């Protein structure tokens, strides 16, 4: 666990924030899809929230890593109170990462809500390699569509919101009807499941799973993901993931 300095903690809108924290040279080697865990308050004598919270590395800026977070409950609310120069405890790099050594590929990036978080870094690594990239990005409402300035280099951006306040009205998965060689998906489980169903059969699919985590390093067995063809062995989202082959995930076993 390292102590990191907050470089900035900016409000994007009422629910979304972006925070930049100083990082070690190790952490700066983050690959797209890697995540870190954060203690969400500064007071070392209090234990509520108890556990650290997980966040994808969203971008790297000079010697700092950037996360993008949505305020959900007490932990993320706690993050919003932190300010420039505050010191917080972080752990990571954690987990595996997206396959980003791709050239000349037709790529779909599919994000639901805060599922957009890992993709700025991914896009940085994929562009300028002759890849063709479509970004599909859905949210409940216009406030759920953030970070668009980070995706200037992608070829097409499709946006939907459930209430139609930005982009097309509807679910983003309804708009997937081109063929791709590989797709990267991050969002709520039902949305990820549905994406798989909509993508062409020849398309490789990498999903980033969000399971509740206690430890983030394989100690607690709280974050299990089951894969088809490996039925006798549970995978740990934190250690073996968070990136999995979407076609192998047994979605039924994730009733949350």
Ligand X SMILES: Cc1cc2nc3c(=O)[nH]c(=O)nc-3n(C[C@H](O)[C@H](O)[C@H](O)COP(=O)(O)OP(=O)(O)OC[C@H]3O[C@@H](n4cnc5c(N)ncnc54)[C@H](O)[C@@H]3O)c2cc1C
Query: Residues in the site for other proteins, rule: CB under 8 A?
Result: 1, 39, 46-52, 89, 91, 211-215, 217-224, 232, 234, 253-256
* Cα-based distances in Å from 175 to 89, 128, 162: 41, 26, 13
Asked if residues 55 and 69 have their Cβ atoms less than 8 Å apart, the reply is yes
DSSP for 8-53, please give it: EEEESSSSEEEEEEE--TTGGGPPTT-EEEE---S-TT--SS-S-E
Give the separation between CA 138 and CA 116, rounded to whole angstroms: 9
Q: Does 212 bind ligand X (CB under 6 A)?
A: yes
- Shortest separation between residue 4's beta carbon and a copy of itself, angstroms: 17
Q: Does 170 bind ligand FES (CB under 6 A)?
A: no
Per-residue contact track with ligand X, 177 to 196, x per CB under 6 A?
--------------------
Tokens of 190: 């039902």
Give the separation between CA 198 and CA 175, rounded to whole angstroms: 9
Nearer to ligand FES, 12 or 214 (CB): 214
| 41: partner contacted, choices a copy of itself, other proteins, ligand X, none (Cβ within 5-8 A by kind) | a copy of itself
| 234: partner contacted, choices ligand X, a copy of itself, other proteins, none (Cβ within 5-8 A by kind) | other proteins
- Shortest separation between residue 246's beta carbon and ligand FES, angstroms: 19
Nearer to ligand X, 114 or 249 (CB): 114
Asked if residues 185 and 173 have their Cβ atoms less than 8 Å apart, the reply is no
Per-residue contact track with ligand X, 233 to 252, x per CB under 6 A?
---------x----------
Range list of β-strands (E), 122-242 = 132-139, 156-161, 168-169, 182-186, 204-208, 224-225, 235-236
Asked if residues 1 and 17 have their Cβ atoms less than 8 Å apart, the reply is no
| 187: partner contacted, choices ligand FES, a copy of itself, ligand X, none (Cβ within 5-8 A by kind) | none
- Shortest separation between residue 79's beta carbon and a copy of itself, angstroms: 10
Q: Which stretch binds a copy of itself (CB under 8 A): 38-46, 135-143, 144-152, 201-209?
A: 38-46
**N-to-C CA span, the chain:** 29
């Amino acid at each position: 666990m390292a102590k990191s300095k907050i470089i900035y903690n900016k409000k994007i809108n009422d629910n979304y924030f972006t925070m930049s924290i100083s990082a070690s040279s190790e952490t700066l080697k983050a690959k797209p899809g890697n995540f870190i865990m954060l203690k969400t308050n500064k007071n070392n004598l209090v234990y509520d929230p108890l556990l650290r919270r997980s966040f994808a590395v969203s971008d790297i800026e000079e010697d700092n890593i950037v996360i993008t977070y949505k305020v959900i409950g007490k932990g993320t609310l706690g993050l919003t109170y932190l300010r420039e120069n505050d010191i917080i405890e972080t752990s990571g790099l954690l987990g595996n990462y997206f396959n980003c050594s791709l050239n000349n590929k037709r790529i779909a990036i599919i994000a639901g809500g805060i599922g957009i978080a890992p993709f700025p870094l991914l896009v940085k690594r994929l562009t300028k390699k002759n890849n063709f990239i479509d970004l599909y990005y859905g949210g409940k409402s216009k406030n759920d569509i953030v970070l668009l300035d980070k995706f200037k280099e992608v070829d097409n951006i499709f946006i939907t919101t459930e209430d139609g306040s930005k982009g097309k009205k509807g679910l983003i998965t309804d708009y997937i009807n081109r063929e791709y060689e590989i797709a990267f998906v991050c969002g709520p489980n039902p949305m990820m499941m549905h994406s798989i169903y909509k993508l062409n059969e020849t398309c490789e699919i990498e999903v980033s799973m969000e399971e509740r985590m206690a430890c983030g390093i394989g100690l607690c067995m709280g974050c299990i993901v089951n894969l088809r063809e490996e039925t006798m062995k549970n995978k740990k989202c934190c250690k073996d993931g968070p990136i999995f082959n979407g076609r192998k995930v047994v979605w039924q076993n994730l009733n949350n």
